[in-house]
């Protein structure tokens, strides 16, 4: 794992300086399928900004890990420089999702993320990449180096609690055997009870040019939750607090608990 040292306006990973990321972002969940089903005509009146489809569960203060697999979907064709797409598994300290008003209290999320778009964060472009994230609603944001991946690659996301207030977040491309990860220590990370699988987007207003092809699905499999160091049954429900209506008829379903 990497050593993270925070400074006022930047942080270092293993001695290498990185500017803080201010990109609006993101979060995800279970043997679920995130479907991008487009409607016709190609343009619709509302713009996609925030969580579009997700599952959630409150698994209590003893959560010590969450892992899952998913597959890189097709690329938007043709792409633009505007759209941002994130899909991921995640753990949060409270149940808050964008685009809702900011919560009154502290918020954080940890997540291994599959992301697309020029504005998706460090190194993003018109291609899929993976990166590990620690996010708050302040400027305390950490993004690991972006690793470009290919359509069809198998992604493994890992979140593991390694101390009372420390987590290891790892995003792995199992086809290339490459990964991007870090460890982060914060007092707020002592409890991450909320578990998610999510599709999150920004700047989506053209369902043909800014989304994968109609009918694309992203199955999440082998979802494994640890509670107090032991495997625990996931108790997901479909979340209802994301953007309404979801852009491009995006939806999620729960096919099983694994």
Q: What pLDDT, on a 0 to 100 scale, did the predictor assign at position 210?
A: 86
Q: What pLDDT, on a 0 to 100 scale, did the predictor assign at position 45?
A: 43
pLDDT band at 199 (very low <50, low <70, confident <90, very high): very high
Give the model confidence (pLDDT) of 38-96 as tens digits: 333 333 347 889 999 999 999 999 999 999 999 999 998 777 778 899 999 999 999 99
Residue 19 confidence (pLDDT) above 80 = no
pLDDT band at 122 (very low <50, low <70, confident <90, very high): confident
Flag whether the pTM goes above 0.85: no
Residue 13 confidence (pLDDT) above 70 = no
Q: What pLDDT, on a 0 to 100 scale, did the predictor assign at position 119?
A: 87
Residue 226 confidence (pLDDT) above 80 = yes
Least confident window among 18-22, 32-36, 87-91:
32-36
Strand 43-58, strand 63-71: pairing? unpaired
Contacts of 248 (CB under 8 A, 6+ apart): 36, 37, 38, 39, 44, 48, 52, 204, 207, 211
Mean pLDDT of 185-194: 98
- Residue 217 CA to residue 239 CA, distance in Å, equals 18
Beta bridge partners of 214: none
Residue 182 confidence (pLDDT) above 50 = yes
Q: Are 245 and 53 in contact (CB under 8 A)?
A: no
Residue whose C-alpha is closest to residue 72's, from 219, 179, 214, 196: 219
Mean pLDDT of 100-119: 94
Mean per-residue pLDDT over the chain, rounded: 85
Mean pLDDT of 223-251: 94
Q: What pLDDT, on a 0 to 100 scale, did the predictor assign at position 236?
A: 96
């Amino acid at each position: 794992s990497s050593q993270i040292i925070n400074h006022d306006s930047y942080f270092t990973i293993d001695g290498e300086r990185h500017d803080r990321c201010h990109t609006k972002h993101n979060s995800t969940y279970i043997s679920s399928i995130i479907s991008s089903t487009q409607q016709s005509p190609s343009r619709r009146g509302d713009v996609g900004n925030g969580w579009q489809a997700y599952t959630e569960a409150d698994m209590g203060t003893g959560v010590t890990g969450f892992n899952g697999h998913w597959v890189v979907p097709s690329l938007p064709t043709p792409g633009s420089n505007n759209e941002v797409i994130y899909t991921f598994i995640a753990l949060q300290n409270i149940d808050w999702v964008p685009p809702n008003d900011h919560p009154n209290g502290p918020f954080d999320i940890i997540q291994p993320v599959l992301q697309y778009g020029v504005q998706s964060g460090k190194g993003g472009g018109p291609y899929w990449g993976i990166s590990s994230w620690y996010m708050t609603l302040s400027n305390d944001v950490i993004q690991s180096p972006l690793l470009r991946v290919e359509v069809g690659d198998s992604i493994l996301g890992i979140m593991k609690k390694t101390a009372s207030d420390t987590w290891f977040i790892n995003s792995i491309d199992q086809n290339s055997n490459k990964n991007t990860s870090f460890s982060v220590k914060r007092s707020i990370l002592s409890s991450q009870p909320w578990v998610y699988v999510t599709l999150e987007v920004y700047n989506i207003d053209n369902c043909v040019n800014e989304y994968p092809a109609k009918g694309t699905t992203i199955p999440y499999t082998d979802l494994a939750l640890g509670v107090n160091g032991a495997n625990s049954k996931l108790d997901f429900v479909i979340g209802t607090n994301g953007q309404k209506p979801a852009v491009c008829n995006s939806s999620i379903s729960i096919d099983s608990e694994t």
